[in-house]
C-alpha cells in the first residue's frame, strides 16, 4: 500500500525529490528508498552509522520529519550541490572591484542551488562623488539590475530557479527609489525586496518626526518619517513589495549578537544571517503527531514530539558536516556556528484536529505552547550533542546566555548550556514548506492557515490527455474519512476568511519561541482600507514580530486561487475572455494592421527592424506574426528562424506572452549592453523587450513583466483564470504562500 496520502504527494516526490539517473531512469524505486538514501547519508558522519541510520529512517518514515527540499533531493546523491537552503552573502564593498567580486560569489552560490540575500545599503547613493574618476555614483539600484541579470543567466543555463533577497536600510539616501523599484514591472523580477526598519525610525513614525537619510556620515536629505513610512506602505499595498524587516529587534534577539551583526535575510525572510551566513532547514510535521483527532481526547503526543525534535536536531547537525558549500567562506561560517533552522509544518491542520480555530486566542496559546516545547527539546538536544561532540567553535557561555533570546529561555535549559555548552548557535526557524507540505499529503504549510480545503487540478496523463483530480487538505480528508459528508464545523477557517490581525496574532505567538525568524504571509482582502492595512504592520511591530509580509490581491499583483470549503465547480464561461486557445493555426487575412520598430544595438553597424502584425478576435487585438530584418548578414539565419518560430507560435493563439519571457531570459556570454539606462543581456532579449512593449501598447498584456508562460491545455476556450498562471506547468493555480508565489498544482515556487 502506498505511503502517500494523496496522488499529488506522489507526483511531487517523483518530480522533485526522487533520485533519478541522468537518463531519467529512477534510482529510488519507492519513497522508502528516498528515506533510506537520506538517512544513510546523514548517518555517515556518526561513529555508529548503522544505529543512527535506523533512527533517522524512523524520523523520516511516514513524513514525520521533513528535511527541506535541498536535503531531500540532494542527500546521498553524490551530486555537486549544497544541502543548505539559505545564504546571506558577504558585505558588498563600496568599490567597483569589490562589487563585481561579490557578483561572482553570488553566481557561484546560485549555481549550486542556494538562495541568497544581500544588503545593498553599503553602496554609496546615486549622485555621490566617486573620487579619482571625475564621475558620480550610479547608486545601489543600478548594481541590483546587474545582479538581476546574473540571476536570469543562471536560470537560462538550466539551474534551478534563482531566489534573491535585497535589503536596504530605512536611512539610506536611495531608500525611496528602492521602495518604488518594482513598480516598474520589468525590473528586479529575480529579487524579493525588504526595507530594514530600525527602532528609531519606528519611534519617529509614531511621533511624526523628521528622519535623516545618511551615508558615510553625511546627511543627504531629511524627510518626515511618517511620509517615508507611508511610501513603504503604499508600495506594499499596491504592489506587494517591499516587505519590512525589523532589523534592530533581530540583532537585539540574536544568540550571537556578541560576535556578528545581521543586515540581511535569505529570500523568504525566515533566516536573518550575518555575512556569509548559511543555514539549513527542516520541519516537524505536527499533523502526523496528533492522537485521537476530532475527539474530546485529541492531543499532540508530547513524548513523540520530543523524540522527533531530538532526532531532527541530530540529523540537521550532521548536514553541516555532510554538505558541500559553494564558497569556502560559507563553509567556515557554517562550521564555526553550526546554525540550523528546525521548524514546523501542518500547524493549522493540527489545530483543526484539536477543534481550535486558527487565529483566535486559544489557537495562539496552543501554538505558543507547542513552539516552546519544540524550542526546549531542540536546545536540550543540542546540549546533549555538545557533551558528545563539543559545542560550536565560537561558543562563549556567559556572552551567549546574555543575549536577548536566551534571556527568555527556561532556567534549566540555561544552566545546562552554561555547564555543557551547546552544539548549534541557533536551532529554530519557520521556513516556507509549500512543496514539502504537498509531498507530505497536502498538510497545511508552515504556520500558515489552511489555504484551501479542496480544489481541482488538471493532471497531464502519459497519453497527453488531461484529467482532473481533487486535492484535499490533509485534515479535511481526515474529517471526511471519519464523518463522511458532514458539514465542516465553524472552527474550520482558511486564509481567505481570516482577519489580517488574526494572522499577526499567530505569527507573534510562534515568534516568541523561534530564535531565527518566520516565513509567513498575511493575506489581506482586496478591499481592506489603507489605514487598516498599515495597522497590520504596526501590530506586527508592537507584538514582537521580526518582520511582516502581506499579500493583497489586486489588478497589479493578480488575484490568488480562492476556493470554498468544498471543491469549486468550474466557473461559468466568460464570453468576453481575452485569451482564446486554438488547436489549429489561424489563416492569414489579406491585410493586417501592425507596427515596425527600429532597434539599434550598441556596437552594431546596422539596425534591426521588427514588424509585428496583429489580428482582431472577439473585439480584442492580439499578435499574429513577426518579421525581423537586418542588413547585417551575420544576423540573417537566426532572424529568419526567429521570424518563423515566433510567428508560428502567435498563429496558434493563447497567452503567447511567454515568448517575451523566454527571449528576455536569453543572455549573450560576450556581454549585453546598456540601453536607455537599463541593462539588456542580449540582442534577443532586446527583441523580446520590443515585442513586450507592443503587446502592452495593444492591450494584450497588462504591463511590462506581466507576461506568463502558460499551457494551451490549462484552460478551455472562454474560461477566465481564477489565479495567475504558473510559469512551470501553466496551471492557473499560483498563490502567495509564506512570501512566495507557489503553484498549487506542481509546487513550483519563485523561491525554489
For the annotated catalytic residues, the residue numbers are: 266, 268, 270
Q: What is the DSSP letter of 616?
A: E
C-alpha grid cell, residue 232: 513603504
Name 487's Cβ contacts closer than 8 Å, sequence gap at least 6: none
584 alpha carbon, distance to own chain's centre:
38
Residue 561 CB-half CA count within 13 A: 27
C-alpha grid cell, residue 205: 513614525
Name 745's Cβ contacts closer than 8 Å, sequence gap at least 6: 457, 458, 726, 729, 731, 733
Residue whose grid cell is 499532540: 300
C-alpha grid cell, residue 518: 518566520
C-alpha grid cell, residue 435: 512543496
Q: d(Cα 66, Cα 463) in Å, to the nearest integer?
A: 33
Q: Which residues pair with 245 in a beta bridge?
A: 196, 547
Cis peptide before 527 (omega within 30 of 0): no
How would you classify the pairing of strands 191-197 and 243-246?
parallel
Decide: residue 376, CB within 10 A, 0-12 exposed, 13-18 middle, 19+ buried. Answer: middle
Name 650's Cβ contacts closer than 8 Å, sequence gap at least 6: 622, 623, 624, 625, 626, 656, 659
**Crossing angle of the two packed helices 500-511 and 361-389, in degrees rounded to 10:** 30
What is the per-residue DSSP string for 532-601?
Answer: HHHHHHHHHHHTT-SEE-EE---TTT-------SSPPPPPPP-TT-S--B-SSPPPPPS--EEEEEEE--
Whether 502 and 599 have beta carbons less than 8 Å apart is answered as no
Residue 118 CB-half CA count within 13 A: 26
Phi, psi of 169 (to 5 degrees): -65, 150
Q: d(Cα 60, Cα 64) in Å, to the nearest integer?
A: 6
Beta strands in 334-423 (DSSP E): 340-345
Amino acid at each position: 500500500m502506498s505511503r502517500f496520502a494523496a496522488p499529488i504527494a506522489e507526483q511531487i516526490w517523483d518530480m522533485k525529490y526522487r533520485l533519478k539517473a541522468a537518463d531519467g531512469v529512477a534510482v529510488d524505486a519507492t519513497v522508502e528508498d528516498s528515506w533510506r538514501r537520506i538517512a544513510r547519508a546523514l548517518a555517515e558522519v556518526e561513529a555508529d552509522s548503522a544505529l543512527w541510520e535506523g533512527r533517522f529512517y524512523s524520523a523520516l518514515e511516514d513524513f514525520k520529519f521533513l528535511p527541506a527540499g535541498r536535503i531531500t533531493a540532494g542527500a546521498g546523491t553524490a551530486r555537486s550541490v549544497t544541502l543548505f537552503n539559505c545564504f546571506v552573502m558577504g558585505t558588498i564593498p563600496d568599490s567597483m572591484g569589490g562589487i563585481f567580486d561579490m557578483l561572482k560569489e553570488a553566481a557561484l552560490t546560485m549555481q549550486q542551488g542556494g538562495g541568497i540575500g544581500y544588503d545593498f545599503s553599503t553602496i554609496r547613493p546615486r549622485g555621490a562623488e566617486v573620487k579619482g574618476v571625475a564621475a558620480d555614483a550610479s547608486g545601489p539600484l543600478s548594481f541590483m539590475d546587474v545582479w538581476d541579470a546574473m540571476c536570469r543567466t543562471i536560470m537560462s543555463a538550466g539551474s534551478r530557479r534563482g531566489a534573491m533577497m535585497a535589503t536596504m536600510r530605512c536611512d539610506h539616501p536611495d531608500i525611496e527609489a528602492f521602495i518604488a523599484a518594482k513598480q516598474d514591472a520589468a525590473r528586479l523580477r529575480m529579487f524579493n525586496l525588504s526595507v530594514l526598519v530600525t527602532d528609531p525610525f519606528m519611534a519617529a513614525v509614531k511621533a511624526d518626526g523628521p528622519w535623516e537619510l545618511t551615508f558615510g556620515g553625511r546627511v543627504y536629505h531629511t524627510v518626515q518619517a511618517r511620509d517615508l513610512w507611508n511610501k513603504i506602505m503604499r508600495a506594499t499595498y499596491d504592489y506587494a513589495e517591499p516587505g519590512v524587516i525589523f532589523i534592530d529587534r533581530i540583532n537585539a534577539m540574536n544568540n550571537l549578537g556578541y560576535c556578528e551583526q545581521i543586515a540581511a535575510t535569505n529570500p523568504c525572510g525566515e533566516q536573518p544571517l550575518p555575512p556569509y551566513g548559511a543555514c539549513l532547514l527542516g520541519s516537524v510535521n505536527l499533523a502526523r503527531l496528533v492522537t485521537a483527532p476530532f475527539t474530546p481526547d485529541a492531543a499532540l503526543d508530547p513524548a513523540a514530539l520530543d523524540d522527533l525534535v531530538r532526532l531532527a536536531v541530530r540529523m540537521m547537525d550532521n548536514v553541516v558536516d555532510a554538505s558541500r558549500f559553494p564558497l569556502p567562506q560559507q563553509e567556515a561560517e557554517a562550521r564555526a556556528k553550526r546554525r540550523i533552522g528546525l521548524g514546523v509544518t501542518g500547524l493549522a491542520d493540527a489545530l483543526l484536529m484539536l477543534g481550535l480555530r486558527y487565529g483566535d486566542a486559544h489557537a495562539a496559546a496552543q501554538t505558543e505552547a507547542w513552539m516552546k516545547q519544540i524550542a526546549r527539546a531542540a536546545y536540550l538536544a543540542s546540549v546533549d550533542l555538545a557533551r558528545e561532540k563539543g559545542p560550536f567553535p565560537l561558543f562563549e557561555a556567559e556572552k551567549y546566555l546574555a543575549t536577548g533570546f536566551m534571556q527568555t529561555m527556561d532556567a534549566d535549559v540555561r544552566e545546562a548550556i552554561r555547564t555543557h555548552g551547546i552544539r548549534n548557535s541557533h536551532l529554530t526557524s519557520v521556513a516556507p514548506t509549500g512543496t514539502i507540505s504537498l509531498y507530505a499529503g497536502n498538510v497545511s504549510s508552515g504556520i500558515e492557515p489552511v489555504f484551501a480545503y479542496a480544489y481541482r487540478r488538471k493532471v497531464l496523463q502519459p497519453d497527453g490527455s488531461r484529467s482532473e483530480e481533487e486535492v484535499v487538505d490533509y485534515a479535511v480528508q481526515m474529517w471526511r474519512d471519519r464523518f463522511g459528508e458532514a458539514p465542516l464545523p465553524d472552527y474550520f477557517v482558511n486564509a481567505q476568511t481570516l482577519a489580517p490581525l488574526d494572522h499577526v496574532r499567530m505569527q507573534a505567538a510562534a515568534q516568541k519561541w523561534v530564535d531565527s525568524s518566520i516565513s509567513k504571509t498575511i493575506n489581506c482582502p482586496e478591499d481592506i482600507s489603507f489605514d487598516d492595512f498599515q495597522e497590520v504592520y504596526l501590530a506586527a511591530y508592537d507584538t514582537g514580530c521580526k518582520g511582516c509580509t502581506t499579500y493583497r490581491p489586486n489588478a497589479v499583483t493578480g488575484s490568488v486561487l480562492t476556493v470554498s470549503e468544498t471543491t469549486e465547480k468550474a466557473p461559468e464561461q466568460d464570453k468576453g475572455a481575452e485569451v482564446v486557445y486554438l488547436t489549429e493555426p489561424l489563416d492569414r487575412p489579406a491585410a493586417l494592421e501592425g507596427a515596425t520598430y527600429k532597434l539599434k544595438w550598441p556596437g552594431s553597424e546596422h539596425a534591426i527592424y521588427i514588424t509585428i502584425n496583429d489580428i482582431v478576435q472577439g473585439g480584442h487585438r492580439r499578435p499574429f506574426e513577426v518579421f525581423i530584418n537586418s542588413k547585417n548578414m551575420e544576423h540573417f539565419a537566426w532572424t529568419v528562424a526567429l521570424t518563423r518560430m515566433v510567428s508560428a507560435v502567435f498563429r496558434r493563439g493563447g497567452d503567447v506572452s511567454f515568448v517575451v519571457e523566454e527571449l528576455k531570459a536569453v543572455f549573450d556570454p560576450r556581454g549585453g549592453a546598456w540601453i536607455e539606462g537599463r541593462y539588456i543581456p542580449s540582442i534577443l532579449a532586446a527583441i523580446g523587450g520590443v515585442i513586450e512593449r507592443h503587446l502592452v501598447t495593444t492591450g494584450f498584456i497588462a504591463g511590462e513583466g506581466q507576461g506568463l508562460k502558460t499551457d494551451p491545455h490549462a484552460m478551455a476556450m472562454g474560461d477566465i483564470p481564477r489565479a495567475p498562471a504558473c510559469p512551470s506547468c501553466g496551471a492557473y493555480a499560483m498563490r502567495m504562500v509564506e512570501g512566495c508565489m507557489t503553484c498549487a498544482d506542481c509546487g513550483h515556487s519563485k523561491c525554489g
